[in-house]
Chains A and B, each alone.
Chain A
Amino acid sequence: MSTGHEHGDDHAHDDHGHHHKETFVTKYIFSQDHKMISKQYLITGLIMGFIGIAMSLMFRMQLAWPGESFPIFETILGRWAPDGVMDADIYLSLVTIHGTIMVFFVLTAGLSGTFSNLLIPLQIGARDMASGFLNMISYWLFFLSSVIMVISLFVEAGPASAGWTVYPPLSALPMAQAGSGMGMTLWLVSMAIFIASSLLGSLNYIVTVLNLRTKGMSMTRLPLTIWAFFVTAVIGVISFPVLLSAALLLIMDRSFGTSFFLSDIFIQGEVLHYQGGSPVLYEHLFWFLGHPEVYIVLLPALGITSEVMSTNARKPIFGYRAMVASILAIAFLSTIVWGHHMFISGMNPFLGSVFTFTTLLIAIPSAVKAFNYITTLWKGNLQLNPGMLFSIGLVSTFITGGLTGIVLGDSTLDINVHDTYFVVAHFHLVMGISALYGLFAGVYHWFPKMFEGKMMNKNLGYVHFWITAVCAYGVFFPMHFVGMAGVPRRYYENTAFPLFDELTDVNVLITVFALIAGAAQLVFLYNFISSIFYGKKGAQNPWKSNTLEWTAPQEHIHGNWPGEIPHVHRWAYDYSKTYENGEYIIPGQDFVPQNVPLQENEEELQH
């Protein structure tokens, strides 16, 4: 626990009166304080998100108006858009880097990194993470990998452009496409560092949740946020190393002439020496992480939703134990479904059958979660704060996107929609938009906790939510039809197929919605930045929430609570709990924070 650093030992004692001298560097840059690290994660994640979303808007413009000249392309892309017409290579790069950034840098590090760091110590009643030092290293490795990824955008031959899954041989052979040279090398280096960062972070989260819970905080009293972060960290530790092995073997194939993934290749007039490798092996390794990754992205968002929704509904989350059980079931199943990305990869059809079976099973815990969220709203007293709206929006897109998973998870039906826009629509709704909503819900809800009591402007929040919600459906609902018309994804333009001529209008509609949605994110950005500086301070517990973080003072102090750490006497969801005579447990207050002891005559209800 002690890291040898002078702060290390402080976690051990409970009384925390003395003060530390902190320099600018130790406070804001190489900070070991989880609250500062969480802000670092969030801001880095948002910057990466800005880049990722901007990229998607550019390639959406290309799809809607193929071959049109846009001066903005020339400004941003330079020689990749001669006369403002986007080049086919850079189109693929944009698609690739958009996927990489959004999945890993925004929704893995930006979401889970931010809120695991902020909430784990605060909600379980700990002074800080188990190892503040590892936590700091984890963030700076993430930062380094972000910087390398951004640098890769500027290499001579262009950034990686083999799709975010970087399947070899396309990604392994520089002669196969321009982006598979230096750009791809940097992509792999960046990802390797990212994985190291993610592992350090995850190990820290697991140890902290297991060891540093305050007195009375049994596992069954943990808020669902913590359950979600904890289980997410576990699947991260299980699956990220496999991606690292895939990346390392790919680096070997690319640079040292090995043949793990390559065999029998004739390209640009010559036969290459590779023999005996298989791209299918890479696909297995990649998706062994790749699928759990979907849940690494989604589970924290669901955890945040559980907490935000229960607080704002003024009701306990419905079926707490079922929610925990479904998180565990989803996590377990998520590690044995990866093959559904490979039904038509040439893998044995019997394997396809097995993966169809496991994949459709995952719909069961997901359905339980959706129904439990809906029931949580029933007969509530819903406080429709922006965070709450994003949580409701999450459940909506989670259902819409999840349902089409029934089609894609079925090996038979996958045959004809595999790799079409149907898939793009499906996963954007179920993991992209849903996880982003989770991120936004978390930011609106815990902004006061991050920025010392300051609150974000709710009206800008409403504008942000409603425009985003309408546009998200506007973009992705029609996209299912494009996919079912047979349009493959990752096509630079569809004009080579008269078959797809009549879909141009749909693509224009989708792009217009996307551009408006992008503009709406600027409202959020403005709100976020201006609230950091000029936000109005709210109450210490603005949402009247039960969890421990709101018992900590608004000012950030090292160790979170002055004096003793609060003890926990109940679960986190005693909202609107009453005595048999209908009176609230605490008169005049419809919530009972976790640190309030059981009252006389109060029934404990199993927690």
Chain B
Amino acid sequence: MTALLTIAVLILVAIAIWQMTKIFELSQYSTENSQVANDSDNKTNGYLLFAFLIFIYAITIFSFWKYSKFLLPEAASEHGGGYDQLMLVSFIIIFFVQTITQALLHYFGYKYRGETGKKALFYADNDRLELIWTIIPVIVLAGLILWGLYTWTNIMDVNDEDDPLIVELYAQQFNWTARYGGDDNVLGDANVRMIDIDRANILGLDESDPNASDDVIVKELHLPVGRKVNFRFRSQDVLHSAYMPHFRAQMNCVPGMITEFSFTPTITTVDMRQNPDVVDKVKRTNAIRAEKAANGEPNSDPWEFDYLLLCNKICGKSHYNMQMKIIVETEEEYNAWMASQQKFGQTIAAQ
């Protein structure tokens, strides 16, 4: 139905354009033949430039009004707060510059539209002006660079302080697997050459490595709140990217090497579901899904908010559906969940 409607709209637009051009062409025969802009063209297009400035502002305001509620909710990780702050400041600068420069550009286009007999100002150089608008970006950017680099260095410093939980995220076409170090919090050695599908050793763990036997391999990522997590990423086939947008975290998974990222989750899934922005989002989304259900469409069950791990590097046909649920919970809940999981040694022995 929507498709039909859109096609109808398109056809109408096409007809409108066709008619417009016809009118233009007809009106043109009656006046003159030159294809160079004359005073009336300058006037029309000068006004249109001004209108276009208003359009740019309007679409900005419209987008903020309608779409800013779609943005990610408050960051659920320790470094995420700093990230969001830097983003906010950058955006304030961006919109300040955008508003002013677009105004000048289009206003000048309107104000100085050509008229026969008008004289333009021969104005080829002004060193002082140019110095000013070189220096100002230099200062602003120096600030942003320093702040950004300071934050970056902190985020990317993956170290073993504060007893981090070690978790491996393992990517393959088209799913994720997580592996915990078990009681010793040390991951056993692994390599794709040791994969043994028949024995359910899907991550290629070294069965002779004592650190491997207590490893826990799961399809749902559980993280205790408030404890630093050091992630180690592996991929068995092509590039993938582990994207955890709610935690402002992302790192590529590269076959043949181990990459790292580290963050501390600060808000449990349960608490995040209470976040007013998230509550609103769930409400809006479920309204859409209820409507779909009423129309008998698939994929319309009510939705409950969960943190997600998405694949964010093109990895093949089902790239668009490569995800894993992340659950952030209290230390006790996490321990209870962990205790209920089978260890690698047990699964292998069961074969």
**Cα of A379 to Cα of B317 in the assembled complex, Å:** 55
Which of the residues A411, A459, A575, A605 comes within 8 Å of B120, measured between beta carbons? A575
Contact residues in A for B256 (Cβ distance below 8 Å): 262-265, 276-279
Contact yes or no, A420 B123, CB < 8 A:
no
A191 contacts the other chain (CB 8 A): no
**Cα of A477 to Cα of B67 in the assembled complex, Å:** 11
Contact residues in B for A519 (Cβ distance below 8 Å): 10, 13-14, 17
**Cα of A152 to Cα of B118 in the assembled complex, Å:** 56
Contact yes or no, B120 A485, CB < 8 A:
no
A111 contacts the other chain (CB 8 A): no
A419 contacts the other chain (CB 8 A): yes
Can you list, as one digit per residue, whether each of B21-46 has a CB less than 8 Å from chain A (1) or not (0)?
Answer: 10011001000011111000110111
Contact yes or no, B192 A271, CB < 8 A:
yes
Contact yes or no, B121 A265, CB < 8 A:
no
Contact yes or no, A495 B310, CB < 8 A:
no
**Cα of A406 to Cα of B95 in the assembled complex, Å:** 12
Which of B56-64, B175-183, B266-274 interfaces with chain A? B56-64
Which of the residues A372, A378, A486 comes within 8 Å of B112, measured between beta carbons? A378
Contact residues in A for B337 (Cβ distance below 8 Å): none
Contact yes or no, A416 B312, CB < 8 A:
no
Among B59, B137, B236, B315, find the residue whose CB has the most chain A CB atoms closer than 10 A.
Answer: B137
Can you list, as one digit per residue, whether each of B145-178 has a CB less than 8 Å from chain A (1) or not (0)?
Answer: 1001101110111000000000000001100000
By DSSP majority rule, is chain B's interface helix, strand, loop, or mixed? helix
Can you list, as one digit per residue, whether each of A495-508 has a CB less than 8 Å from chain B (1) or not (0)?
Answer: 11111011110101
Q: Give the Cβ gap from B229 to chain A, nearest Cβ, in Å.
A: 16
Q: Give the Cβ gap from B149 to chain A, nearest Cβ, in Å.
A: 5
Task: Say yes or no: A364-B121 contact (C-beta < 8 A), given A407-B90, A502-B285.
Answer: no
Contact residues in A for B151 (Cβ distance below 8 Å): 412
CB-CB contacts below 8 Å: B230-255 with A: 233, 236-239, 241, 243, 245-246, 248-252, 254-255
A154 contacts the other chain (CB 8 A): no
Contact residues in B for A251 (Cβ distance below 8 Å): none
Contact yes or no, A349 B102, CB < 8 A:
no
CB-CB contacts below 8 Å: B112-142 with A: 112-115, 118-126, 129-130, 133-134, 137-138, 141
Contact yes or no, A319 B192, CB < 8 A:
no
Which of the residues B13, B33, B105, B149 comes within 8 Å of A396, measured between beta carbons? B105
Task: Say yes or no: A265-B37 contact (C-beta < 8 A), given A68-B3, A356-B145, A360-B145.
Answer: no
B289 contacts the other chain (CB 8 A): yes
Among A173, A367, A395, A404, find the residue whose CB has the most chain B CB atoms closer than 10 A.
Answer: A367
Which of the residues B67, B152, B288 comes within 8 Å of A352, measured between beta carbons? B152
With both beta carbons as reference points, the residue of chain B lying nearest to A527 in the complex is identified as B21
CB-CB contacts below 8 Å: B35-88 with A: 35-37, 41-42, 44-46, 48-49, 52, 55-56, 59-60, 63, 67-68, 70-72, 83, 86-87
Contact yes or no, A460 B2, CB < 8 A:
no
Task: Say yes or no: A377-B122 contact (C-beta < 8 A), given A278-B256, A473-B56, A536-B33.
Answer: no
B316 contacts the other chain (CB 8 A): yes
A424 contacts the other chain (CB 8 A): no
Task: Say yes or no: A377-B141 contact (C-beta < 8 A), given A315-B120, A413-B148.
Answer: no
Which of A44-52, A198-206, A241-249, A380-388 interfaces with chain B? A380-388
Task: Say yes or no: A379-B321 contact (C-beta < 8 A), given A65-B2, A169-B239.
Answer: no
**Cα of A88 to Cα of B284 in the assembled complex, Å:** 28
Task: Say yes or no: A459-B24 contact (C-beta < 8 A), given A177-B316, A416-B248.
Answer: yes
**Cα of A188 to Cα of B115 in the assembled complex, Å:** 53
Contact residues in A for B109 (Cβ distance below 8 Å): 377, 382, 384, 392
Q: Give the Cβ gap from A210 to chain B, nearest Cβ, in Å.
A: 26
Task: Say yes or no: A498-B289 contact (C-beta < 8 A), given A345-B252, A375-B129, A485-B71.
Answer: yes
Which of A114-122, A218-226, A461-469 interfaces with chain B? A461-469
**Cα of A470 to Cα of B53 in the assembled complex, Å:** 10
With both beta carbons as reference points, the residue of chain B lying nearest to A413 in the complex is identified as B87
Contact yes or no, B21 A523, CB < 8 A:
yes
With both beta carbons as reference points, the residue of chain A lying nearest to B145 in the complex is identified as A360
Q: Give the Cβ gap from B212 to chain A, nearest Cβ, in Å.
A: 17
Task: Say yes or no: A512-B6 contact (C-beta < 8 A), given A459-B21, A473-B56, A495-B299.
Answer: yes
With both beta carbons as reference points, the residue of chain B lying nearest to A544 in the complex is identified as B36
With both beta carbons as reference points, the residue of chain B lying nearest to A357 in the complex is identified as B145
A124 contacts the other chain (CB 8 A): no
Task: Say yes or no: A262-B255 contact (C-beta < 8 A), given A176-B237, A490-B314.
Answer: yes
With both beta carbons as reference points, the residue of chain B lying nearest to A419 in the complex is identified as B312
A456 contacts the other chain (CB 8 A): yes
A320 contacts the other chain (CB 8 A): yes
Contact yes or no, B320 A496, CB < 8 A:
yes
A577 contacts the other chain (CB 8 A): yes
Task: Say yes or no: A385-B193 contact (C-beta < 8 A), given A170-B314, A416-B245.
Answer: no
Task: Say yes or no: A415-B102 contact (C-beta < 8 A), given A163-B314, A477-B59.
Answer: no
Contact yes or no, B236 A267, CB < 8 A:
yes
Contact yes or no, B10 A457, CB < 8 A:
no
Which of the residues A176, A344, A416 comes within 8 Å of B83, measured between beta carbons? A416
With both beta carbons as reference points, the residue of chain B lying nearest to A167 in the complex is identified as B239
Contact residues in A for B245 (Cβ distance below 8 Å): 416, 486
Contact yes or no, B87 A407, CB < 8 A:
yes
Q: Give the Cβ gap from B38 to chain A, nearest Cβ, in Å.
A: 9
With both beta carbons as reference points, the residue of chain B lying nearest to A520 in the complex is identified as B17
A399 contacts the other chain (CB 8 A): yes
Task: Say yes or no: A573-B93 contact (C-beta < 8 A), given A263-B255, A374-B104, A491-B320.
Answer: no
B227 contacts the other chain (CB 8 A): no
Contact residues in A for B338 (Cβ distance below 8 Å): none
Contact residues in B for A349 (Cβ distance below 8 Å): 152-153, 156-157
Among A177, A344, A363, A506, find the residue whose CB has the most chain B CB atoms closer than 10 A.
Answer: A344
Contact yes or no, B319 A467, CB < 8 A:
no
Among B20, B141, B157, B289, find the residue whose CB has the most chain A CB atoms closer than 10 A.
Answer: B141
**Cα of A63 to Cα of B342 in the assembled complex, Å:** 41
**Cα of A378 to Cα of B197 in the assembled complex, Å:** 71
A452 contacts the other chain (CB 8 A): no
Among B28, B93, B97, B121, find the residue whose CB has the most chain A CB atoms closer than 10 A.
Answer: B121
Task: Say yes or no: A457-B48 contact (C-beta < 8 A), given A371-B133, A503-B70.
Answer: no
CB-CB contacts below 8 Å: A246-264 with B: 262-264
Contact residues in B for A416 (Cβ distance below 8 Å): 72, 83, 245, 248-250
Contact yes or no, A497 B323, CB < 8 A:
yes
State the 5 A-B residue pairs at the shortest beta-carbon distance, nearest first. Answer: A263-B256, A349-B156, A486-B245, A459-B24, A346-B259
Other CB < 8 Å A-B pairs besides A167-B238, A356-B145, A501-B303, 12 of them? A65-B3, A346-B254, A368-B130, A399-B97, A406-B94, A411-B152, A416-B72, A459-B21, A473-B56, A523-B21, A538-B35, A542-B36
A residues with a Cβ closer than 8 A to B are 65, 68-70, 88-89, 92, 162-163, 167, 169-170, 173, 176-178, 262-267, 269, 271, 276-280, 313-322, 344-346, 349, 352-353, 356-357, 360-361, 363-364, 367-368, 370-375, 377-385, 388-389, 392, 395-396, 399-400, 403-404, 406-407, 410-413, 415-416, 418-420, 455-460, 462-463, 466-467, 469-470, 473-474, 477-478, 480-482, 484-486, 488, 490-499, 501-504, 506, 508, 512, 515-516, 519-520, 523, 535-536, 538, 542-543, 573, 575-578, 590, 605
15 pairs of residues in contact across A and B, judged by CB atoms under 8 Å: A266-B193, A349-B156, A368-B130, A384-B49, A385-B41, A389-B45, A392-B109, A415-B248, A462-B24, A462-B44, A469-B52, A477-B59, A490-B314, A495-B299, A573-B124
B residues with a Cβ closer than 8 A to A are 2-3, 6, 9-10, 13-14, 17, 20-21, 24-25, 28, 33-37, 41-42, 44-46, 48-49, 52, 55-56, 59-60, 63, 67-68, 70-72, 83, 86-87, 90-91, 93-94, 97-98, 101-102, 104-106, 108-109, 112-115, 118-126, 129-130, 133-134, 137-138, 141, 144-145, 148-149, 151-153, 155-157, 172-173, 191-193, 195, 197, 204, 233, 236-239, 241, 243, 245-246, 248-252, 254-257, 259, 281, 284-285, 288-289, 299, 303, 308, 310-321, 323
